[in-house]
Structure formats: C-alpha cells, structure tokens
Structure 1
Amino acid sequence: MTTKKKRSAHTDNDSWVVIAPDSALDTGRSEEGDPSFIKLKNPATGSSSLYLFGCGDVCVYEVKAFSEDFRSWFIGQTVQRDGRLLYVTPIDPLFLLLPYISSTATEGKFQPAKQMIMDEDYPGCTRLLHCKQGLDSLHHVADEKEVDCLKFHRYNQEKTLEWLKKKVQRTVLTLKKSNISVGGGVKSSMFVRVKHEDATEEDYLRYAHGLISEYISEDLSKALLKHLQLPEISSPKETEPPSKKRKLSDKPVEAGEDYTKFNSADFARKPPKKMTAAQKSLAKVDKTGMKSLSAFFSPKVKQEKN
C-alpha cells in the first residue's frame, strides 16, 4: 500500500522579488560593504520598517511591499512562496535621523551626533552615521557648533519646519511638472480624479503635505500644517446623504494597502424594501407547527436501534 508523500514546510524567507534602481544593488565596490536590508524605526509611526543600505552605506532606500493572499512566484524551476513584491526607492536619510535628533530637544544642549543616534531596539541605526548625505544635512534641523574639528548639534524646531516647508514646495513643483492630479477628488474614497486645471494652489500644498507627512511624526505633521498656513478641512455636513460623504485623507496610497477597504462606506447595508400586499398578508399567517422550506431538503437523522 502506497502512501502520499507529505510536503515539508517551506521556511526559507531569504528570497524576495524586488524592483530596485541599479544604484541600490550595485556590488561593484565590495570592499565597502554589500547592500543589505536593515530594520529601523519608522519616523512616522515608530514601528519597525525595512530599509536597504547601499554599498558603503552611502545611500539609504525605503522598502515597501505589495502583498496579496494566495500569491507566489515561479522562479525558474522553483516556487517562491513569499509572493510579496518589494519596491525599493531612495529616501532622504535625514528623515530617519530626525526622530533621534528631536528626542534630545528637552535636554537643550549641544551633543555629538554619535551620542544622539543610539537605539537599543534598533542597533542598525548607527549605520546612519556612515551616510554622509544625512550627516551633512543635520544643519537643516539643528543648530551646529564646531569645537576642535568636532561638530555638536542641538535640535531646532523652526529650522526643521523651514526645511520641511521647502520639501513641500519642491514636491508641489514636481507634481505640477509631472501633471499629477490632486485635489479633493483624489483624496476621496472613490478615487475620482479632478482635472489638472481645476486644482488650486492649496490643493497642491495639502497633497504635498500629505506625502511628506508619511515620513514625520503626527505632531510634527500638524505643526507643519500650521507653518504652511493651511486652513483646517471642514467635515462633511450632517445633512449630506451617506452615499455622497467622502473620507478625506492626505496620505498617499501605498502598494501594500487593501484597495477594497477604501470604498467600504459605499457598501453599507441598505434598508429593506417595502413589502407588497401579498407579503404583508403572508406575514400575518400563524406559522406555528409549520416547517420551513429548507427543512424538506436537509438530511434525515438516522435513529439508533435499541
């Protein structure tokens, strides 16, 4: 008698399908260290996120994943069960350094960057100290003092908001140049795009603010909103029909999100239709002792013999 061979559980999670720029995976300078994935604290949420450090830690890239249930990859003659598709894009390392710099604001004293960039939960954060782009940009978010060829920094909120404001303004220019549709229609749950000429300057600023807010804390995002002098978004009127109410969001849609959830408000249970006269009369009939129609099709229970 033959038995079916059981498949062993696949536990290899070291392989992924990645879309990345050539610069991120350049291994031509192996003496400076190969590219590697490192878990760091997300500057917006504080949770763990995956980042890619290029050769020699010169550049840092953020990693986002598009994931669906029951998805896998056929690679050559093998099956990769981890069906996620990872996107690797450059990120300004100053966004990753900012939470550590701002956390020392209460101390109010100048400190070396090496003393501020420490985290027991994410020891890999020290690799940010090797990133020249990030260290050279610290003056955008902190006051700087040099003593005996050593640089010391102290967090400056006003400088940070000005730096973020410039980020928003450059993002607005890119949106306009790329002819990206913005405005209330894009931020609605229905994803209805508005015409390019219908978007106002406030629409662009608010949309760009939402994109930048993906890389900063919620408190800093609110402070930036005030710094940009953007008015608060008024909530939908209570008299507006539920089907026409739209949830506004300044956050860009990430590939890993479930798109079906954005329109959940439109799938609310509808009230029952009015009954006809025949249905009303049938409802008044005494159904005591009557079997339901499904009872005639259910399997009969066999009675045990004594």
Structure 2
Amino acid sequence: MDCLFNPAAIFSSDEQVYFLFRPQEPCLLEVQKTDCNGKSSWFVDDAVQKDGSLYALSPFDPLLLLLPILHAKRRQTAECAGAFLSLDDLLYDAGAPNLARLGDIPHFEEKLLTVCDVTAPTPDMQFFRLCDKKVVAWLRGKVDRIVAKFASYALLAALAAGEKEMEEKLILESRRHVAIRLLGDTLAPMWVAKLKESYGLGDTIASEYVYFDNVIKRPLAASNGAGEDNKAAAAKKTKLSHGQRTLAKANKEGMKNIASFFAKK
C-alpha cells in the first residue's frame, strides 16, 4: 500500500482524516486508529511493543471524498448550472497531488456518472459536472441500504430493541434519521439538508423519541386529562440514574444536544 494523504488539505478542515490508496486491485481505504489512551501493548515474538495502537483499514467510497471537490469545481451560480470539466481537471489539486491516483480505480469514470451529468464532444473525451438530483438519489440508496439491514448491524441493534412500542411509520422515519446521521459524518450540511428534505423529514420526528445509552426510548405520555397518571409520569421523569446524574454535573461546554442532529436546517 502507498499514497497516504490527508484530505484536510482538500477540505480546509482541522479534522485529521487519513486514507491509503491500495495499488493492488486499486481501492481507497480509510485509516482509523485506536490507542486505548496508552494503556495497551503488543507481544511481538519474544518482545513487548509498548505502543498498543491498532490501525484499522476499511474500504471508503471515493465519491464521498470527491463530493466537495466536484461541488466547488463546477462553479455553480444562480444563472448557470456550472462548468463541465475533464477527469484530469477534476482530480487535480495542488494541495493534494495524490488525489489523481483515484483515477486508477477500475471503472472510475462510470462511478462518476452516478453523481454527475456528462457531455462527450468526441467518443474518447468526456466532461463531467456534478448533478444535485443524482447526488441525492445516490445518497438515498445508501440510506435505504442501511435501513434495510438496520437490525443486522451490531452498532444499531440496541436502537432496534427500543422500537417495540413504536408505530411502523415512526420506526422507518427514525431509522432514516439514524442512517442520515451516520452518513452526515462524511457530508457537508447542504447534502444532509437535501437528503432529509427528499424524505420529508423535519423537526417533528425529534419529538417522538429520544436517544439515551444507544437505545430508542419512548417519551412520557402527553397530557390527556388523567391527572394521577401525569403526576406519576412526572415523578418518574425526575428520577435520574447514576449515569444521568454524573452527566448532569459534567462540563458540557462545546457539546451538542442529541436533538440537534435531527433539527431541520
């Protein structure tokens, strides 16, 4: 493997995200590191390796990496849909010269057609321009695949356990919210907003359920005139667990409420 690069140079972001390009069977891989806060080590043959960090490499869709570049380079305005550019021009960036290696991925130009309009003045020459409608359709495909296999993902299994009392429509909407939240880690806010809009998701969904300890929990019953029931519900609401009390005392500066992830932009 070679071609280690940090896309922060492309995105002008302070967040450090690294990728490797695998030359054999060309593929883009995301690099993630776990270090257990320096409290782990490795036994290698007859010696102990003090650094117990573990690097995990996982396939990453190159179109997600290119999306902000494609958006910027089309130079769209209110009067113009933007410019068509060649593949070489799209993959050229002085701050990230290794970006051009993505062109080595098999059928890469076909992948671009998933999110781009194309014009071909000659049979051997193609020019590409990002298309919002195609991007949203492509992202919806990812959301729908996550939703279809929601319960099979270990990360999301705990969330599915809290859906027993929820209506089928609400379950679908909540799972779409979760899927969009996961994809949102690699997307600009404008694409998250367009994706939510395509599903008709707004602020009302956030009031139907809340997330806590990775479980979807139904809220307390709304007032319906049953005074004693409401008093009991209020008493139950004020009873906090040890974890909740600890969280309440923690320094929350810079932290976002979970409901903010579902708020309409």
Task: Mark yes or no: TM-score above 0.5.
Answer: yes
SS of equivalent residue, structure 2 residue 191 = helix
Aligned-residue CA RMSD in angstroms?
3.4
Pair 1:154–1:170, CA change in 2 (3 A): same
CA distance in 1, matches of 2:89, 2:143: 30
Give the equivalent residue in structure 2 for 1:112: 86
Q: Is the CA contact 2:5–2:98 (under 8 Å) kept in the aligned structure 1?
A: yes
CA distance in 1, matches of 2:117, 2:244: 47
Name stretches of at least 5 consecutive residues in structure 1 with no aligned partner: 1-34, 187-191, 237-244, 250-262, 271-306
Correspondence 1:152 to 2:127: yes
Q: Among the aligned pairs, what percent are the same residue?
A: 23
CA apart distance, 1:214: 2.2
Q: Is the CA contact 1:112–1:152 (under 8 Å) kept in the aligned structure 2?
A: yes
Pair 1:121–1:233, CA change in 2 (3 A): farther
Pick from 71, 77, 92 the counterpart of residue 102 of structure 1.
Answer: 71
CA distance in 2, matches of 1:104, 1:208: 28
CA apart distance, 1:64: 1.4
| 1:141-196 superposed Cα distances (whole Å, 9 cap, x missing partner) | 111111221110011111111111111112211224x266859x74xxxxx95256
CA distance in 1, matches of 2:125, 2:112: 14
Q: Is the CA contact 2:173–2:205 (under 8 Å) kept in the aligned structure 1?
A: no
Aligned 1:48-87 pairs, distance under 5 A: 48-56=16-24, 58-70=26-38, 71-87=40-56
CA distance in 1, matches of 2:58, 2:88: 26
Q: Is the CA contact 2:74–2:84 (under 8 Å) kept in the aligned structure 1?
A: no
CA distance in 2, matches of 1:40, 1:64: 12
Displaced runs of 4 or more, over 3 A: 42-48, 179-183, 195-199, 233-236, 245-249, 263-270
Count of residues in Structure 1 that have an aligned counterpart in Structure 2: 209
Give the equivalent residue in structure 2 for 1:121: 95
SS of equivalent residue, structure 2 residue 149 = helix
The higher-RCO structure (CA 8 Å, 6+ apart) is 1
Which one is further off, 92-101 or 74-83?
74-83
Give the equivalent residue in structure 1 for 2:248: 268
Larger Rg: 1
Pair 1:140–1:248, CA change in 2 (3 A): farther
Larger helix percent = 2
Correspondence 1:143 to 2:117: yes
Pair 1:180–1:172, CA change in 2 (3 A): farther
Q: TM-score, normalised by structure 2?
A: 0.66
| 1:94-132 superposed Cα distances (whole Å, 9 cap, x missing partner) | 111222111123251111021022223222211111112
CA distance in 2, matches of 1:227, 1:63: 31
Aligned 1:174-253 pairs, distance under 5 A: 174-176=149-151, 178=152, 182=156, 186=159, 193-195=161-163, 198=166, 200-232=171-203
Q: TM-score, normalised by structure 1?
A: 0.58
Give the equivalent residue in structure 2 for 1:132: 106
CA distance in 1, matches of 2:83, 2:184: 27
SS of equivalent residue, structure 1 residue 69 = helix
CA apart distance, 1:137: 1.0
SS of equivalent residue, structure 1 residue 136 = helix
CA distance in 1, matches of 2:147, 2:211: 24
SS of equivalent residue, structure 1 residue 132 = coil
Name stretches of at least 5 consecutive residues in structure 2 with no aligned partner: 77-81, 215-242, 251-265
